[in-house]
Structure 1
Amino acid sequence: MTSETLNGGAPARDTARRARVNQLTRAAQWFAGIEDDPYGLVLRAGDEDPHPYEERVRALGPLYHSTLLDTWVTADPAVARQVLGDPVFEGPGPAGATGGGDPLPYRSPALTPDRADAARLGDLTAFGGPLLRAGGPASVERRTEAAARTLLAGLGPRFDLAEDFARPLVGRVLAAELGLPEAVHGDFVRHLSGCRHALDGLLCPQTHAASVAGEAAERSLAALLAEALPEAPPGAGAGAEAEAGAGAGAEVGADADRADADRADVLRAALALAVGCAEPTAVLLSHAVGRLLAEPGGRLAPAARPEGAAAAIASTLRDAPPVRLRTRTAREAVTLAGHELPAGAHVTVLVAAVARDPRAAADGPPPSLPADPYPGPGAHLVGAVARAALRVLAATRPGLRAAGAAVVRPRSPVLRAPALWPVAADPAYGTEEETLPCAS
């Protein structure tokens, strides 16, 4: 620490300014809720079910302007498709390039690429391309099954579903898919866990301590990737071809693909994929388990079969998506649902509310995934890991039950991520592993 910092110099002033802006932005959201602004109530819901507030936004028309928070909000499928599909509406911010202000001083750099970065990074993340292993979702599911079995073997009859199983499993799988050496998997999982607030931080100011810790974790994760990410995707060559079977052809030339890609772009894509997909995958898995346990009979056993796990994950994506809110910034003036929006206008899509709309069911809802900020394989990666993990959990712990109330993490309106989710094996079922069919 320098004397300038100790004596109130520039670094200390900047930290104080950022903390103050963060606090004031959260206060504005809280005040909007007090004034009965439905979007403000969504952002401050905490443990409260945001469903009624989302429906109030829908009742106000296809596009609602939260004047207190200066944000346009929609639960309308057609408007949502335009916002998420039109290049005029780009990443979550900041809007400084258009003259607008950004009230969130701690946005994750990994999740806020500019226009050129978003297009370039999206091209790097196809299965078998410069970044991820070949073989597609089926291979991801096989590797996830193996990792889940290993992890569960070390857990006792009582554990925390999110903290002890979902998050470390997702981190291990992502590390393997990126081809990181096993020696750094533990550090990768630890740094990635520290980034868990990043997606919520795109819309809801996290505490100053959590924000600073998240920035440090993201820097550490970026440094680890720069040091450990291989030049070529893992398994490129004859051995991987034997494993992937029909999909092995995608690996031909993978070495050349990564060699041709700019190293800095590959590293940015890896960071964005990890930070953007890890926590939503853990949330999706946790919510799917919770929904199964809440059904009559409350048992996971039906999800031990591939079709049962696939159905549970699909229904969770539809009814309780792990990314409930998506935000975009208008990079130029645009007309949306009859309203003239200036450049720099912020628009939020209530993904969960859109998915509930019967019109979305008829036309296909706008994607709640990928959670990463660019079009890529995130949706396939997230779904594959969640399906395989649920199958293994259901096969090895078919009588799993809730061992206490699940607690939603504070300031998590985007993910409604679990802070606490205790579960325990039912002694009547035991924990002996059943035969689990492999993913096909």
Structure 2
Amino acid sequence: MTFEQLTGHEDPHPIYEQVRALGPLVRDSGMWATTSHSLSNKILRNQRFGVRYSDGTYPGGGLLPESFLETDPPDHTRLRRLAMPAFSPKKIDEYRTRVEKVAESLLDADEFDLIADFAAPLPIAVISDLLGIPDSDTAEFADYGALVAASFDSGVTPEMAHANDKVLELFERLIAERRARPGDDVISSLVAAEAEKKLTAQEVMGTLVLLLVAGFETTVNLIGNGTRALLDHPAQWALFKANPGLAPDVVEETLRWAAPVQMTSRIAHEQVGEIGKDELVNIIIGAANRDPDVYPEAHRFDVMRVQKPEHLAFSSGIHYCLGATLARMEGDVAFRALARRMPDLKQAGPVTFRDSVVIRGLKSFPVSRS
């Protein structure tokens, strides 16, 4: 099995199961791979593994400026701590009213594309508020942000490189404005931290782009994957509509059953068992979340499932997703709104899938109110 086989698959799990049959830790194309929930969680939480090689170099690269997602301690700890206040429980509660209003405003059409017209605009509106993007810039910000995020699928195209430049230009302008007139937003707090020498100008930019892309990617795919799962499982959809308080359970089962991020990797900083120093381990989150040793009937979508242990959709350990609480809240609001406003929602045409190994999501999902 090579990871290229997974690209564009509607359902990668048959391939994951081929890997699982080879054992909890296997060699793949010169790298290690694991489908085991237990082993994945141990590696993600083990401080002997990191995201960089032992000499400090990073194996990736490309369009986006580096952020704390691509760093190990102590830089990771320092930068993550500076971004954390934006995701405090109090802040998330403040965002909820805004999310509910946006969700309601997006559900007026009889026929629409669930991704382009609902799942994508919703988190972009929240991220725009969080970052303090002016209303006059929000539409352009959303378009460019989506293009930058799409670089995960098919690499960097001229159009995406242009979008990246535009996003950076917007952030540079907003950073300059916040230096002159600070506000109550993430950009202002990071600019203040930069003035206190707690991070560099480049680290400010990297953090902002990470919050844009991560805030968009996880939520749009959570909403799309969850809605499709509900419509494909009519009994589960009916159960949820009759019991809207199950929205958090729909969110968790979607994250387990169709994780927006299917794969991540860690690098051993020293010899760890069979894994040599500076060898890379691909952690197949999508497979770990359906590990039959952990979840009974793991391939069944069941909103009443007991989610123990927790799925790995938000990773684990020090790189656990900073915006997990926000994404969960947005998914909760989105699913409740769909069930309330469109109880007879139906798929209205064929879906198309993201062309990605790492991201699992839909490019388009035509639906109708009835």
Structure 2 equivalent of residue 77 of structure 1: 37
1:88-114: per-residue Cα shift (whole Å, max 9, x none)? 3223x6x594689x5x66363346633
Aligned-partner Cα distance in 2 for 1:304–1:160: 25
Residue 347 in 1 paired to residue 291 in 2?
no
Aligned-partner Cα distance in 1 for 2:312–2:50: 15
Aligned-partner Cα distance in 1 for 2:55–2:191: 37
Structure 2 equivalent of residue 158 of structure 1: 111
1:326-368: per-residue Cα shift (whole Å, max 9, x none)? 12233x2321xx313231x221111121112244459624532
Superposed counterparts of 1:292-311, under 5 Å: 292-296=230-234, 299=237, 302-303=240-241, 306-311=244-249
1:378-402: per-residue Cα shift (whole Å, max 9, x none)? 1111111111122122222221110
Structure 2 equivalent of residue 6 of structure 1: none
Which residue, 65, 69, 87 being the options, matches 2:47?
Answer: 87
Out of 52-61 and 265-274, give the one that drifted further: 265-274
Structure 2 equivalent of residue 386 of structure 1: 331
Residue 56 in 1 paired to residue 18 in 2?
yes
Greater relative contact order (Cα < 8 A, sep 6+): 2
Residue 402 in 1 paired to residue 347 in 2?
yes
1:133-152: per-residue Cα shift (whole Å, max 9, x none)? 77243333222111112233
Residue 121 in 1 paired to residue 90 in 2?
no
Superposed counterparts of 1:18-417, under 5 Å: 37=1, 39-42=3-6, 44=7, 46-66=8-28, 69-91=29-51, 95=53, 97=55, 102=59, 106=62, 108-110=64-66, 113-115=70-72, 116-126=74-84, 129=85, 131=86, 135-153=90-108, 156-200=109-153, 206-207=154-155, 209=157, 212-228=158-174, 230=178, 231-234=182-185, 260=196, 262=199, 264=201, 265-296=203-234, 299=237, 302-303=240-241, 306-330=244-268, 332-335=269-272, 338-343=273-278, 345-361=279-295, 364-365=309-310, 367-369=312-314, 374-375=319-320, 377-410=322-355, 412-417=356-361
Could you tell me the percent identity over the aligned residues?
26
Compute the TM-score of the two structures, normalised by the length of structure 2: 0.82
Compute the TM-score of the two structures, normalised by the length of structure 1: 0.70
Q: 1:370 to 1:137 in 2, by over 3 A?
A: farther
- Letter of the structure 2 residue corresponding to residue 221 of structure 1: V
Shift of 1:300: 7.0
SS at match of 1:347: strand
Compare CA radii of gyration and give the structure with the larger one: 1
Give ranges in structure 2 of 5+ residues lacking alignment: 296-306
Q: Stretches of 4+ moved more than 6 A in 1? A: 253-259
What is the aligned-residue RMSD (CA, Å)? 3.2
Shift of 1:277: 2.7
Out of 159-168 and 268-277, give the one that drifted further: 268-277
1:41-96: per-residue Cα shift (whole Å, max 9, x none)? 33x3x134211111121111121111xx22210011232123212233223x6x59
Aligned-partner Cα distance in 2 for 1:216–1:376: 28
Aligned-partner Cα distance in 1 for 2:61–2:194: 34
How many corresponding residue pairs?
A: 347
Aligned-partner Cα distance in 2 for 1:254–1:110: 16
- Letter of the structure 2 residue corresponding to residue 349 of structure 1: I
